[in-house]
Each structure stands twice: as structure tokens, then as C-alpha cells.
Chains A and B, each alone.
Chain A
Amino acid sequence: MTDNGGQTVRKLWTPFNVIVGIILAVGGVLTLMRFTQGIGAVTNLDNNNPWGVWIGFDLLCGVALAAGGYVTSAACYIFGLKRYHSAVRPAILTAFLGYALVVLALHYDVGRPWRLPYPIFVSQGTSSLLFEVGLCVFLYLTVLFIEFTPAAFEWLGLKKIRAVVVKLTLILTIFGVVLSTLHQSSLGALFMIAPSKLHPLWYSNYLPVYFFISSMFAGMSMVIFESTLAHRYLSRHMDDTHHRQAFGVAMGFAKAAAFVMVGYLSVKLVGIAIDGHWQYLTTGWGMWYLVEVIGCVALPAVLFAMGVREKNLKFVRWAAAWTVFGIVLNRLNISMIAFNYHLPSDQRYFPSIMEIGTSVFIVTLGIVIYRFVTTRMPVLHEHPDYPAH
């Protein structure tokens, strides 16, 4: 079960390695350019469009899709759904990597990254929602790190300290849920300061609620999506428990996601009704809004429900991928596409190829680290010395 890597002589020139190598090399060059010539040298950002894909994709989508960590650990440890146990570790690992990469991406995006600790340690702008996001992300990253350490301790054979951390599980989980609630919703609330720039169909007093609710089904879908990939490529590192529970986990999360998505749609409906924005639905922006809400939330929710009813794993997996896509679309709409909607088209933002390249580089980095960790540490399987606690 434990893979020592030594017995199977690894081939170096696999297609995976070659592609990853190229991406990492390009990423290195872009990094060099970014830090020697400034943000302007690699991005299409300008004074009207200060936030681009590095915020819209890397930060907003990264955080939303890393929500699997708090959703899964809450399901298992707080709601007592023990059958999710084998999904907790991979979810925590993904969340930790996700947040770590978000912070890494921020180093590219902000002008003076070495000052990133300033809002916490030097000058606290407590009136800013970005302050809340920063503080919570910082604290939550710490929580996730501690939550993941048992796996590393098992790998390293440090029994005593592992036992201490395992005792903290419940507290860490509650802390994680509180922090996640705060920063997931605040990310949406960030845009509440700019009602004149965000299209009315997306601007709402409910923005924080939308972001929080959608982070739940984003997290669940991501757990299903990720386990789909892991089953395909990392199956040999999984133990029987993981294999046995995987189906139940997928079905359980699919059912929960379908319910939450219906709830999300109803809150959205209420939001539009309260603001009286029906008339926008017939415009071009309205069509685009419906593509997002009907096409990428309502339809995958139906597919989830069908998958659950027919016990069809394939449906559930496709629905998960679709939902993930929908979340990405929603975050990009709010941060880039429907933002500054009133500007003439020549002043609108479109990312440069180098910006996208940097984002691809950062995601690739995450995949490489995930693979490194799961092929060594007890993540997808239990360590023989430490059965389920």
C-alpha cells in the first residue's frame, strides 16, 4: 500500500512530466519578468481595471473551490457523518494547497508583496472587507496546516505529537467553519463598495450570502471532481476503505449539493425580486445572467438529483464538473465580465496571455505538490499504524 517509489523505476519522459516541465519553465520566466519589470510588463491591467484574472480566478475561484475542506470536515466531525471519513484528508489537503496557492498568487498581484503581513501586523484597516478576508485567510491557512499535520506526522512516525493534534480536531473544525463563513462571504461583500461598477443583476445586498452558499456546493462538487481524477490517476494509492466509501461520499455530497443549489437559486430569486431587477433579464446581460444561473446552477443541480436517484456515478461526476465550471463563471462574471460593464468596449479588460500563463503555472504547481504528497503520505489511505480515529 505504501509506495516507496524505489521499486518501480520511474520514467522521466512521460507526457505528464514533459508538459509540466514546460509549464514550470515558462512560469519561471514569467515570474522573473513580473518581479523585475513590474505588473504592467506581464498584465493587461490598467487604471480602470485594477483587478484581473489573478484576483478573479486565482483568488476568488481558488478560495471558493477550496471550500471542500471545511464542508467535508464539518460533515464528518460536527455532523457525525462518519462515512465521509476517508474523504476528509484529501479534502483538507486540497484546501490547504488551494489557500497556499491563493497566497502565492497574491504575491504576483499586489504591488509590494513583501508587505502582505502589513494589514495584520502593522496597520489594521478594520473598516475594509479586504482586511477581514486577509485576516481570515491567514488564520484559516494556519488551521488547515494544523489539520493536515497528522498525515505528515504519521508519515514521519511522530506518534506523540500526532496524538495531540488529533485531540484538537473538533475545535479546529469549528474554527475552520467560522473562518470560512467569514471570508467566503466577505469575498462577495468586497464588491458591495462599488454599486456603480457592477451590473445590477450581479450587484446585490445579498452578495455575501450568495458567495457563502455557493462556496458550499462548490466545495462538495470539488470533492467529487477531485476524487474522480484521483481514482483515475492515483488509484493504486487508495486503500479498501477509501474505495468502499468513495461511492457513498459522491452520492451523499451530490444529494446535499442538489439541495443547497436549489436553496441558492431561491435566494437569488428573492434578491432579484427585492431589487426589482426583472426588466434586466430581457437584455443581453440578462441572457448572460440566465446562462450562468439556469445553465450552470439549475441544470447541474437536476443532473445531480438524477444521478442520486439512479445511483449513477457518471451523472454525479459530470454534474460536479459542470458545477465547478459554473462557480468559475460566476466569480469571473462578478470580478471581471460584469464589472465595469458601463465602460466603452475599448476600455474593457481582457487578460494577456502572460497573465493566463501565470495562473496556469500556479495551478500546475498545485497539481504537482498534490501528487507528491498523496503518493507518499497517508492521504488516500489510512496509515496501517493509525486506523480511523
Chain B
Amino acid sequence: MGISRRKFIGCLGALALGQAAGVPGTAKGAAGKEFSGWPDSLGVLHDITKCIGCRQCESACHRVNNLPAPETAFDDLSVLDQKRRTDADVFTVVNRFDSDRPVFVKTQCNHCLEPACASACFVKAFEKTPEGAVVYDESLCVGCRYCMVACPFNIPAYEYHKALDPRVTKCTLCHPLLKEGKRPGCVDACPAGALISGKRDELIAYAWQRIQTFPERYVSHVYGEHEMGGTSWLYLSGQPFSRMGMREDLGTKSAPELTAGPLSAVPIVVGLWPVLLTGVYAISKRKEKIAAQEKQAAVEQAVVQSRKQAQDQLETLRKKWEQEKQSAINFEVKKALEEAAAKDPEPSQTKEDE
């Protein structure tokens, strides 16, 4: 019993420590609060006001990533009539939003500084690299799709129709090209200058400079600077982002911050529960014992009492019996005397005579 108890506590301890170690996190993307992004990491600035909706970036993306050709060719702009999202073999899409004049927005993974997908993945299949790209390791993925639930931008897609080796797919920010010092395929292909790549810090400074220089051209908001803790992709726009389906209610809390509370409760539960429960057990055991003792005492008392009662009864019975016996004897004696007297009255008189 002793050994197994120690073992059991050891087990719980490992659970608590494992979790506790997970809270501060490593700087690999599934990170805790302190992590404020890799220094000098790269990003892309998408100036929505400059985009002409030519779909050249989509075409380049397919080429670079060896994706299968789409059903409608890239120069067929009729697809812009419908709203599309990223898909298993489509890492980026351009959508058109009509207001006073058409506005085009490119969508892809935003490569968050503290990615929800990486924080959510229970096998660490996602990693935020120092270059800025959030990359996915197919060899670890179990396919639980919690990353898709977690991504606030609805980016990752799943290969639902593969039976044996389905993957999560999304934009890689052309991580291999970045490592060679090259630019992402889409940025290279954009003919309108709507995509600029560079160091994220510099892009933010540049974006604000643009806003200040052309205040009538832009809304005063660099999308992605703070959204969900900040993203490597940044956006400038001439009208509120929510009009183009980009959520402005995401808040600035990063994903790890959102789940830090429940994660930090783990060591508390693991530490406190066993102690409390053992206490409760001890109390209930003791209650039981006391109850048993009381019961026994009560029984004993009852026994004593009933014994005494019995004795008393016996005593009165004896007394009564004795009384009865006595009176019977008396009666008999009296009777005998009377009989004797009746039979022979003389001797008494003789005595008197003497």
C-alpha cells in the first residue's frame, strides 16, 4: 500500500510538472505570455487599396507549392463573383467586395506571432520559425483538426477525402524561399505593388507612415499589428476592415493567453484534490468509527440496563415468593396449632395446674 501510494503521488506529480512546464512554453510558437515575437522576423504588408484583383498571386502560389491546377484558370476573373476561402489545395484566394468601387482582398495564413494553431496542436505539429513563417510538420499530425477550430482567421484546411494520409494544409509563407533569402512567391508575382515583404517592424513603421502621409486614402488601422497578439501579415485599407469580412472583434489577446487560466489550474487540482479527498476520507472514516463506538456504547448500556431490570424483577419476584412462602408457612403453622389445640386441649390445662 505504501509503495503504491508513493507511486500514485509520483504519477500525479509528473502530470502537474508536465503541465506546468507547458505553461511558460518554449519559444517555438506554442509559447506563453512573455514571448513577443522573434526579433527581425519577416512579414508581408498587403495594401488593399492597391490590389487590382488579377489573381497573379494565386497563380504564383500554385506554381511554387506544386498545387494541382484549379478548375477555372487563373486569368478567369469570374470566380471573383463568389466568396471563396482557403482550401486543401488552395493556400490563398483573392475576393472582391463591392462598395462604391470594387475592393480586392487577398486571404491566406496570417502567420500569427503566437499562433492559435500551434498553441492548440497537441503534438506540436506547428512551429513559428524565427524567419516568421508558421510551418506544419505532416509527420506528427494526428488529424484531430483542433488547429482549425482554434484559428481565428479560419485558414487551415483539411484533406477530408484522403483515407490514409490526410494533411492539414495552409500557406507556408514560402518558408524554404525565405531561408534562401528570397521573397514569397505571391509577393514576387504581384504586378500592382499591393504586396511588400520585409522585416515586420519596418513594415509597421512604413504602414503608419503611409497612413499619416495619405490620411484620406487609409483608415487609421494597421490590421494585424495587434490582432490576436499580432500577425506577420499586415493590412492597409481604405475602409473599415469588417466590411471586407475581416473581423475587427478578435481582441489583442493571443491564443496562449486565452488558455493560460485553465492550464495553470492543473497543478492546483493535482496538488489540492488528493489532500482534500484524503481528508474527507479520514473524516468519514472517523465518523463511521465514532458512530460504531456510540452504537456499541449504546448497546452495552442497554444490556446493562436490561440486566439490571431483570435483576430487579427477579428480586421482587423472590421477595414476593418469599412473602408468599412465609405466609404459607405461617398459615400452615397456624393451622397445625389450631388442629393440635382442637385435638387435645388438656395438656395446657395440666400445665396450668402445676
Interface residues of A (CB under 8 A from B): 35-41, 43, 45-48, 50-51, 74, 77-80, 109-113, 115-116, 118-119, 122-132, 134-136, 139, 167-168, 170-171, 174-175, 177-178, 181-182, 185-186, 189-197, 205, 208
Contact B281 A78 (CB under 8 A): yes
In the assembled complex, B243 has its CB within 8 A of some CB on chain A? no
Known: A80-B285, A119-B122. Is A182-B269 also a contact (CB below 8 A)? Answer: yes
Partner of B256, one of A74, A110, A127: A127
Partner of B247, one of A124, A167, A196: A196
Q: In the complex, what's the smallest C-beta–C-beta distance from B213 to chain A, in angstroms?
A: 32
Known: A167-B1, A177-B273. Is A130-B124 also a contact (CB below 8 A)? Answer: no
Q: Which residues in A have their C-beta under 8 angstroms from that of B110?
A: none
Contact A127 B30 (CB under 8 A): yes
A257→B157 CA distance, assembly (Å): 42
Q: In the complex, what's the smallest C-beta–C-beta distance from B340 to chain A, in angstroms?
A: 75
Q: Which residues in B have their C-beta under 8 angstroms from that of A37?
A: 161, 163
Counting chain B CB atoms within 10 Å of each CB, which of A48, A112, A175, A195 scores highest? A112
Q: B141-157 CB contact bits vs A (8 Å, 1 = yes)?
A: 11111101110101011
In the assembled complex, B87 has its CB within 8 A of some CB on chain A? yes
Known: A127-B30, A171-B8. Is A119-B142 also a contact (CB below 8 A)? Answer: yes
A210→B30 CA distance, assembly (Å): 26
Contact A178 B273 (CB under 8 A): yes
A37→B161 CA distance, assembly (Å): 6
Q: B266-294 CB contact bits vs A (8 Å, 1 = yes)?
A: 10011001100110110011011000000
Partner of B149, one of A39, A51, A132: A51
Contact A127 B22 (CB under 8 A): yes
A122→B122 CA distance, assembly (Å): 11
In the assembled complex, B249 has its CB within 8 A of some CB on chain A? yes
Contact A47 B87 (CB under 8 A): yes
Q: Which of B11-19, B51-59, B318-326 lies at the interface? A: B11-19
Contact B157 A47 (CB under 8 A): yes
Contact B277 A177 (CB under 8 A): yes
Known: A79-B284, A119-B123, A175-B8. Is A38-B163 also a contact (CB below 8 A)? Answer: yes
A182→B18 CA distance, assembly (Å): 14
Known: A175-B8, A178-B269, A192-B259. Is A128-B30 also a contact (CB below 8 A)? Answer: yes
Contact B265 A112 (CB under 8 A): no
Contact B85 A38 (CB under 8 A): no
Question: How many residues in B have their beta carbons less than 8 Å from beta carbons of A?
Answer: 78
In the assembled complex, B25 has its CB within 8 A of some CB on chain A? yes
A77→B282 CA distance, assembly (Å): 11
Known: A127-B22, A192-B258, A196-B250. Is A178-B149 also a contact (CB below 8 A)? Answer: no
Known: A48-B85, A126-B19. Is A134-B284 also a contact (CB below 8 A)? Answer: no
Q: B290-317 CB contact bits vs A (8 Å, 1 = yes)?
A: 0000000000000000000000000000
Contact A127 B119 (CB under 8 A): yes
Contact A41 B161 (CB under 8 A): yes
In the assembled complex, B251 has its CB within 8 A of some CB on chain A? yes
In the assembled complex, B120 has its CB within 8 A of some CB on chain A? yes
A39→B256 CA distance, assembly (Å): 29
Q: Which residues in A have their C-beta under 8 angstroms from that of B23?
A: 127
Partner of A78, one of B25, B140, B158, B284: B284
Q: In the complex, what's the smallest C-beta–C-beta distance from B328 to chain A, in angstroms?
A: 57
Partner of B262, one of A119, A126, A186: A186
Partner of A80, one of B251, B259, B266, B281: B281
In the assembled complex, B21 has its CB within 8 A of some CB on chain A? yes
Beyond A79-B280, A113-B142, 16 additional contacts (C-beta under 8 Å) are A47-B157, A78-B277, A78-B284, A111-B141, A111-B166, A116-B142, A123-B140, A128-B30, A129-B120, A132-B19, A178-B274, A181-B273, A193-B258, A194-B152, A195-B258, A208-B265
A112→B121 CA distance, assembly (Å): 14
Contact A125 B266 (CB under 8 A): no
In the assembled complex, B5 has its CB within 8 A of some CB on chain A? yes
Known: A125-B122, A130-B120, A192-B262. Is A112-B143 also a contact (CB below 8 A)? Answer: yes
Q: Which residues in A have their C-beta under 8 angstroms from that of B88?
A: 47
Q: Which residues in B have their C-beta under 8 angstroms from that of A130?
A: 120, 122, 144, 146
Q: In the complex, what's the smallest C-beta–C-beta distance from B156 to chain A, in angstroms?
A: 8
Partner of A50, one of B21, B140, B145, B263: B145
Contact B281 A45 (CB under 8 A): no
Q: Which residues in A have their C-beta under 8 angstroms from that of B350?
A: none
A25→B269 CA distance, assembly (Å): 44
Q: Which residues in B have their C-beta under 8 angstroms from that of A74?
A: 277
Contact A125 B281 (CB under 8 A): no
Chain A minimum-CB-distance residue to B88: A47
A361→B10 CA distance, assembly (Å): 39
A39→B142 CA distance, assembly (Å): 13
In the assembled complex, B343 has its CB within 8 A of some CB on chain A? no
Contact A131 B152 (CB under 8 A): no
A178→B13 CA distance, assembly (Å): 12
Contact B22 A47 (CB under 8 A): no
